[in-house]
Amino acid sequence: MSQFLREPVSSLPGLGGIKAALLQSELGIVTVGDLLQHYPYRYVDKTLIRPIREVLTHPDTALVQGVLSPFQSHGHGHKKRLVAYLRDETGTLELIWFKGGKVIEGILHPGQAYTAYGKIQRFRGKATLVHPEMELVRTAATPRDLTFDPIYSTTEGLSKKGLDTKGIRKFQRALISRITPGLVPENIPQHLLDTLRLPGRAEAIRHIHFPPSQKALEDARKRLKFEELLFLQLDLLLSKKHRNRELIGYVFEAVGEHFNRFYSEFLPFELTEAQKRVMREIRRDLGLGSQMNRLLQGDVGSGKTVVALMAMLIALDNGYQSCLVAPTEILAQQHYQSVKDLVKGMGIQVGILTGSVTGQARKLTLQYLAEGKLHFLIGTHAVLEDPVVFQQLGLAITDEQHRFGVAQRAALWKKSKPHPPHVLVMTATPIPRTLALTIYGDLDVSIIDELPPGRKPVKTELWYENKRLRLIGFMKEQIAAGRQVYIVYPLIEESASLDLLNLEEGLASLQREFQRPQYQISVVHGRMPSADKEMEMQRFLARETQIMVATTVIEVGVNIPNASVMVIENAERFGLSQLHQLRGRVGRGADQSYCILMTSGRLSEDARVRLQTMCRTNNGFEIADVDLKLRGPGDLEGTRQSGVQGLKIADLREDGAILQSARTVAAKILDADEHLEFPAHQCLKRHLRETRPHDRSWSRIS
């Protein structure tokens, strides 16, 4: 990084002391380079001056030009306001200032031509510009007459110190004027810039702040987005290459008796082609001699657990233990029961370790694990605790891994000596490709993209409150046919701030409609003790109850094939990912299943899109793409620790094509020159060293 970019902002005239400290605390801006990377979020197109008549009839944010009339003062006290008019050949527009009237009268001169910019508002029935940005029209054409003025994000504290968008613009202009050839070093090889038709770095920085044209702005944006994503991908792929080269893994050469016997005698169904493809990918990884670090994505019900089990069987055939760690006790219990049932009769010992496993049962589990008598351990965070010792851990699987912190996953690594265990990360939360290339860009990715045969797609419908009686009748029909029903609420107790049909109120209403002894209702929510939740789940699983009333605690980890109806109350209050996960609780048996999205009908545009998307498709990846567009990457689960939040200009909702290009270019560079030793690649190496000096040890942990 050049000395110029490393200069503290406090060295700039007018930015010392308090202002510099505020920039650091409010926006994280410390150096000149940081300030130049504080990019505008929009621009005022001052090349497009609209006739006043047009803005009077079509109010909007607008730039107009005309002659300023003399000022008039209206009102008294706090209602006092300064009024003037701007006139062109098409009409007259009122201008109003509620504050700073004396200052305005001192700097603006009636009878001269000005441009005025702002949002047209209605004041006392008239189209008005309130506190407009005013600029004198010069007689000679200059670059400032026709510009795209940058608008910067700021804060109230900064604005009070003169660092509103105008203040920041002033300092950016001063910085840009200092940029000379060589002052901002290039960090992308020239041959790449030529091939991709991208401007140089210094030019891109100048034009992102003060573009001379729309084309120059677009080119600058493309260049800076590509730069940001290229270095992100180089960093991720270097981590991946480092892991593959440096992290020796156990070699599982044999696919032996346990795997083959399970596949031929105990597997209760034919694997889908997607499951077979994923198994081949996992099998290849396990035999390479370097540590496997693979992400397994699969929609709800796609059969990830049986794939995980078959990987564990390969580990067992080679003399190693496996563990599967889940984020909740309910999910851990489900995996434990599933695995135990699938291998019943094979002589394989499966244990479970959760917070509720105590006393003698816990002592024996730990003892058998350390002695190697326990082949598979399934559990929650309890598996990560120090007393848990494996004789020889070879494969570690985490389910819904975004719920585990990096330090927790590191604790799992330490339980394997001398090499780290092979790692399989599973998620039923579909991840858009653009996010997968960033959050999990240093993992190998496998996708199970088909459901087992015989599964019928869940029918999803949006029902309004006027269909409540029809819903009750439909539920009774399904229960009479031997099916079970989930009803999910967004709240446990009444909230004064949210007008929602909550769980307690809903339960009372249901108990009036579904009376004992004909109907039995289970209730599960997050504030219940684990033992009570487990008891209610078991009652529902055993068909002792026909209706499960719950909050989103059942979003992950309930597998009840007989449940055929999912009713989601106030569905507009849930995110798309949550809605999709909840819908995945039904449709697990052979019968037709239904998801009913109940809403009052007062929907925002985003809510309408979410609910219509749910009704239109069952494809989790399509749903994830819509979710990304609606919410952005920062609001999606699992992204806050990922580095995605560090992006200054790239937007994963819009820049998928640029990301893919950056990934392809980064891969080609590292395939040809992994250590970036070529002369043309020295600029890449220098920039990586200066901007990403982190310890790579953390990045190795899934």
* pLDDT tens digit sequence for 122-159: 777 788 998 888 888 875 444 444 578 898 999 988 98
pLDDT above 70 for 492: no
Q: How far apart are the C-alpha atoms of 349 and 376, rounded to whole Å?
A: 7
DSSP strand pairing (521-524 vs 81-88): unpaired
Per the model's pLDDT, the better-predicted residue between 57 and 218 turns out to be: 218
What's the pLDDT at 693? 57
Span 70-81, average pLDDT: 86
The secondary structure of 385-433, three-state, reads CCCCCCCCEEEEEEECHHHCCHHHHHHHHCCCCCCCCEEEEEECCCCCH
Provide the b/e sequence for 344-369 (b: ≥16 CB within 10 Å): eebebbbbbbbebbeeeebeebbebb
pLDDT bin (cut points 50, 70, 90) of residue 697 is very low
Residue 340 has pLDDT above 60, yes or no: yes
Torsions phi, psi of 563, nearest 5? -75, 125
Name the β-bridge partners of 61: 119
- 267-271, 290-294, 412-416, 537-541: which has the minimum mean pLDDT? 412-416
Amino acid letter, 415 = K
Q: Can you give the pLDDT at residue 149?
A: 84
pLDDT at 59: 67
pLDDT reading at 403 higher than 60:
no
Q: Residue 66: CB partners within 8 Å, gap ≥ 6?
A: 52, 86, 87, 88, 92, 93, 113, 114, 116
What pLDDT, on the 0 to 100 scale, is given for residue 625? 81
Which of the residue ranges 237-251, 502-516, 571-585 would you say has the lowest mean pLDDT?
237-251
Q: Report the distance separating Cα 41 and Cα 150, nearest Å.
A: 8
Give 407's Cβ-side CA count (13 Å radius). Answer: 1
Residue corresponding to tokens 């088909």: 450
User: Among 21-25, 492-496, 616-620, 623-627, which range has the highest average pLDDT?
Assistant: 21-25
DSSP helix/strand/coil, 242: helix
Q: What integer pLDDT is reported at residue 546 of this predicted model?
A: 96
Neighbours of 328 (CB within 10 A): 20
What is the per-residue pLDDT for 286? 94
The answer to whether residue 222 scores a pLDDT higher than 80 is yes
**pLDDT tens sequence across 352-377:** 999 888 999 999 999 999 999 999 99
Cα-Cα-Cα-Cα torsion 436, 438, 439, 445, nearest 10 degrees, comes to 40
Q: How confident is the model at residue 643 (pLDDT cuts 50, 70, 90)?
A: very low
**Which single residue is written with the structure tokens 């993992």?**
443
User: β-pairing, 393-399 with 422-427?
Assistant: parallel
Q: How far is CA 372 from its chain centroid?
A: 40
Closest-CA residue to 227 (of 191, 185, 198, 195)? 198
d(CA 618, CA 615): 8
Cβ(524)–Cβ(550) below 8 Å: yes
Is the per-residue pLDDT at 584 higher than 70?
yes
Packing angle of the helix pair 273-286, 304-317 (nearest 10 deg): 30
Q: How are strands ordered across the β-sheet holding 321-325?
A: 350-353, 376-379, 321-325, 393-399, 422-427, 293-298, 444-448
pLDDT of residue 475: 96
| Residues 470, 464: Cα–Cα separation, whole Å | 11
Domain 257-286+303-427 has CATH 3.40.50.280: no
Residue found by looking up tokens 């996992």 in the block? 282
Task: For residue 121, list its beta bridge partners.
Answer: 128
Buried b (16+ CB within 10 A) or exposed e, 671-692: eeeeebeeeebebbbebbeeee
Judge whether 206 and 66 are in contact, CB under 8 Å. Answer: no
Query: What local confidence, expressed as pLDDT, does residue 516 receive?
Result: 87
Domain with CATH 2.40.50.140 in the chain: 48-146
**Confidence class of residue 620 from pLDDT cuts 50, 70 and 90?**
confident
Q: Which of 554, 559, 562 is nearest to 578 (CA)?
A: 554
First and final C-alpha spacing in the chain = 31
Contact indicator for 546, 519 with CB cutoff of 8 Å: yes
Instruction: Calculate the dihedral angle through the C-alpha atoms of 671, 674, 678, 680, rounding to the nearest 10 degrees.
Output: 70
Dihedral pair phi/psi, residue 385, rounded to 5° = -70, 155
For residue 27, give Cα distances in angstroms to 172, 207, 265.
Answer: 15, 22, 62
Contact 5, 32 (CB under 8 A): yes
Q: Are 375 and 350 in contact (CB under 8 A)?
A: yes
Contact 653, 644 (CB under 8 A): no
Q: Which of 339, 301, 365 is nearest to 590 (CA)?
A: 301
Residue 644's pLDDT band, with cuts at 50, 70 and 90, is low
Instruction: Please tell me the predicted confidence (pLDDT) of residue 141.
Output: 45
pLDDT at 20: 92
Residue 634 has pLDDT above 70, yes or no: no
pLDDT recorded at residue 494 = 55
Residue 142's pLDDT is 47
Greater pLDDT, 63 or 601 = 63
Angle value at C-alpha 333, between 257 and 326, nearest 5 degrees = 85
pLDDT of 365 reads 95
Query: DSSP per residue over 118-157, as a string?
Result: EEEEEETTEEEEES-EEEEPPSS--TTTS-EEEE----HH
Residue 698 has pLDDT above 80, yes or no: no
Q: State the pLDDT at residue 500.
A: 54
Q: Among residues 47, 84, 42, 46, which one has the least CA distance to residue 67? A: 84
Most confident of 119-123, 197-201, 501-505, 509-513: 197-201
Over the stretch 260-312, which tens digit does the pLDDT of each residue have? 999 999 998 899 999 999 999 999 999 988 889 898 988 877 889 999 999 99
pLDDT digits (tens, 9 = 90+) for 94-123: 999 988 888 899 899 999 999 898 888 877
Task: Output the average pLDDT for the chain.
Answer: 86
**pLDDT given for residue 78 in this prediction:** 75
Give the domain 48-146 fold: OB fold (Dihydrolipoamide Acetyltransferase, E2P) (2.40.50)
Return residue ranges of the chain for CATH 3.40.50.300.
257-286+303-427, 459-617
Residue 528 · residue 548 · CB < 8 Å: no
Question: What's the pLDDT band for 496 if we cut at 50, 70, 90?
Answer: very low
* DSSP class per residue in 568-610: ETTGGGS-HHHHHHHHTTS--SSS--EEEEEE-S---HHHHHH
The confidence band for 702, taking pLDDT boundaries of 50, 70 and 90, is very low
Give the pTM. Answer: 0.70
Average pLDDT over residues 53-61: 79
- For residues 643 and 463, the model is more confident at 463
Q: Greater confidence, 41 or 503?
A: 41
d(CA 322, CA 310): 11
pLDDT reported for residue 408: 66
Strands laid side by side in the 484-488 sheet: 459-464, 594-599, 563-568, 484-488, 547-550, 521-524
CATH superfamily, domain 459-617, is P-loop containing nucleotide triphosphate hydrolases (3.40.50.300)
- pLDDT attached to residue 504: 82
Predicted local confidence at residue 636, as pLDDT: 47
Map residue 676 onto helix, strand or coil. coil
